[in-house]
Amino acid sequence: MSARPAPWTVGVLFGFVGMLGFSGTLAATRVAVADFSPLAITCARIVVAGLLGGVTLVLTGRTALPERRHLVAIAVMGLGLAVGYPFFLAVALQSVPAVHGAVVTGLAPAATAIIAVFRAGERPPPVFWLACAIGLAAVLTYAYDAGGGAFSVADGWLLLALLCLGLAYVEGGRVSTELGGTTTLCWAMLFLTPFAAGPLVWSLRGVDLASVAPWSWVSMAYLGVVSMFLAAIFWYRGLAAGGIARIGQINLLLPLAALVWPALFLGETITPTAFICAVIVFAAMMVCLKARVRRRA
């Protein structure tokens, strides 16, 4: 009889699948902002994910409301993941290429790890922080190179997006250990749907839907179904199984995976610096994954 895999190994698998689902977010958002406003994109993602979440809760028989002690964390998770992150991301990608945004998203693991220390009681060892710092240095170097030797205002919007994402990962990861990643995500999206439906209709009032490019519709569908719902389910299950700080480092690969989509579909160029960054970031991620993360009592 074969031994069962360690929980953190399962967490890595789920986290990696979730990361791949997230990797197309920047390219899809870059395409969608050509026809839709950041508000429309943000609200559409919530409504689509909320409808899918409601169906999932009914099919799985988990229609009982979460306990009151979970509501605040679920709300913070939903606001960070479905409101703050996609809105600030869409604003930034109105003025910078998806490749630039993909690079800056490499800061997400650092934000997640730091917030996890204060909110989830996790205590990564020194080697964890050293590897994280090396990975971040590589990402920042690449971001500086990709920006032509300067940072733009869009980088500020991207940083705000990452702070929202890190907080959402930590709060969602904490609740997911008790409710499960799927249930947590479904309730978060379902709670936000009534507040997003009205603004979605309002933001589309001046849009000629008949003239919207087909790829913009495809991008919107991807953002709502895959990026906002399916990938998030895998990601939160990974955080719950493997630990927030450790699994959060898988996102160090996100900017590198996200570079592929703009190159394939948007014709954006990947510079030689990307390859060097890929090697450094991958090595740093492996060290972080193998580090033993302790929890405070």
- 3-class DSSP state of 97: coil
Which residue is it, tokens 């409301």? 65
CA distance 231 to 290: 23
pLDDT digits (tens, 9 = 90+) for 40-78: 999 999 999 999 999 999 998 988 889 889 999 899 999
- CB hemisphere CA count around 261 (13 angstroms): 25
What is residue 6's predicted lDDT score, i.e. its pLDDT?
60
Share the mean pLDDT of the chain.
Answer: 83
Phi then psi for 265, rounded to 5 degrees? -105, -20
145-171 pLDDT, tens digit each? 766 666 677 878 888 998 898 888 888
Q: Is the pLDDT of residue 7 over 90?
A: no
Asked if residue 131 lies in contact with residue 206, where contact means CB atoms within 8 angstroms, the answer is: no
| Count of other CB atoms within 10 angstroms of residue 40 | 22
> Cβ distance 24 to 256 under 8 Å?
no
Where in the chain are the domains? 7-295
SS3 label, residue 5: coil
Q: What is the distance between the alpha carbons of residues 27 and 20, in angstroms, rounded to a whole number?
A: 13
